[in-house]
Amino acid sequence: MKKIIENKWDEILSLLSTQYDISKMLVDTWIRSLKIFEVKDNTVYFYVDEKLGENSIKFIRKKEFDLFLLSSIRETLDNSDIEIVIDLKKNYVSEEEKIEEIKNSDSYKDAVSRSNLNPKYTFENFIVGDGNRHAHATCLAVADMPAQDNFNPLFLYGNSGLGKTHLMQSIAHYILQKDDKAKVLYVSSDTFTIEIVEAIKNNRTNEFRDKYRNVDVLLIDDVQSIKGKDATQTEFFNTFNTLYNDNKQIILSSDRPPKDLETLDKRLVSRFECGVPIDIHEPDYETRMAILKNKAELNHITGIPEEVYIYIAENVTDNIRELEGALNKISVFSKLMNEKVTLETAKESLKDFINKDSNVKITLERILSIVCEHMGISEADIKSKKRSQDIATARQIIMYLGRQYTLLSLMSIGKYLGGRDHTTVMNGCNKIEKMLKNDEAFKSTVDTIIKKLNPSS
């Protein structure tokens, strides 16, 4: 509406003279200089020229010019619902200023912490491109009007590192910015699984249900990870139904669409498909460049030449997380070496990160196969309960490399390696890190395995 009024401003002012008998001199002196601050909920907020000050507002009201202006706007736009407010610009607070004030408040910060949200994952920090434009627009709609039938549940899917978690949490931030008393909860499926297992083991399922079923918005990341876990799936199904029937917003993410979650309970897949499944694609070159520069600005990374941004954007093409990781690595490398960032230093710091000649995708399956081959241990032994030193060490190397070269969670790695829990994987990774620092022969073995994983590195 703001643009419409500005385009018809001369017509509105002309009507004041012809219809309401206000002289052109008075219109030009007192009304023409009015500016629109914003239009919200059918109300037009005008402000006066600062030079004229508050006395001009008093004069406009005394002469009832404000009432005549309102009538002229309503008639010109053929809209009887319009209202107007005229005030000094300094008395208005923009939406951006209001949001910034909210974000700095203790109550909002407490709500973000309580909801398990990353403070940086907001719409303001999300870079929109062709690969995520549809998803971004849908998430904005859900944030603005949560729990609408057409958008509940919202199901985001796509490969790892494309911004699903960022978009999910942006919705939560938006809702809390409007009402920091809203009950919002974000968890990964791994966390959900761990908590239900602990609740069942300790006979505290009622507490678990109170936590997950008394929320306004529930966000669960990587739902594909709950496959094959009967107790978790049953509890999730019942939680889903309770929230859905209570008209609460449910937001889910996965690395694949609902129809491809073959090992998930068909009842769950059916529920996922009843809302809006939205896919996110890899960022194009322009979006990758925008992401890099936005990341640099947010993290106060300076001194990066344009050619270095181009080099990263051209070589890291399918994962935003890796894109940001490459930029961080260049920045850290530059500080450690006390060198100015150039294209040559960037290539040197990323030589193990970027490999243009290799199309080898490093997966946990590939890591298992190569470690077993190199160390002369069978894959069956790795996944077994055997704990002999050679088997345990090989198993821990696989855990460590799985964390370094894949985006899998600790729980997913443990499940693949014979159903071990996430603490076992974490301890295994820590042990390998210590051995790499203190044992040169062991480090040489691991380096050899890494070269086999990616031969052209």
What pLDDT does residue 357 have? 47
Using a CB cutoff of 8 Å and minimum separation of 24, what contacts does 364-373 make? 364/398, 364/402, 364/406, 364/408, 364/413, 364/416, 366/453, 367/398, 367/401, 367/402, 367/405, 367/406, 367/453, 368/398, 368/416, 368/417, 370/449, 370/452, 370/453, 371/397, 371/398, 371/401, 371/449
Question: Is the four-CA dihedral 269, 272, 278, 283 of positive or negative sign?
Answer: negative
Which of 83-87, 114-118, 261-265 has the least mean pLDDT?
261-265
pLDDT at position 425 over 90: yes
Nearest Cα to Cα of residue 173 among 112, 226, 132: 112
Residue 126 gets which letter from DSSP?
Answer: P
The model's pLDDT over 276-321, given as tens digits with 9 standing for 90+, comes to 788 888 888 888 889 899 888 888 888 888 998 988 888 887 778 8
The model's pLDDT over 130-146, given as tens digits with 9 standing for 90+, comes to 888 889 999 999 998 89
Token pair in block for residue 355: 């490999």
What pLDDT does residue 243 have? 93
pTM: 0.58
Looking at the chain, the number of H-run helices and the number of E-run strands are: 23, 8
455 pLDDT band, cuts 50/70/90, is low
Percent of the chain with pLDDT over 70: 96
The model's pLDDT over 199-244, given as tens digits with 9 standing for 90+, comes to 888 989 899 999 999 999 999 998 887 766 677 788 888 888 999 9
94 pLDDT band, cuts 50/70/90, is low
Which are the contacts of 304, defined by CB distance < 8 A and separation ≥ 6? 296, 327, 330, 331, 341
User: Roughly what angle, to the nearest 10 degrees, separates helices 306-315 and 320-337?
Assistant: 140
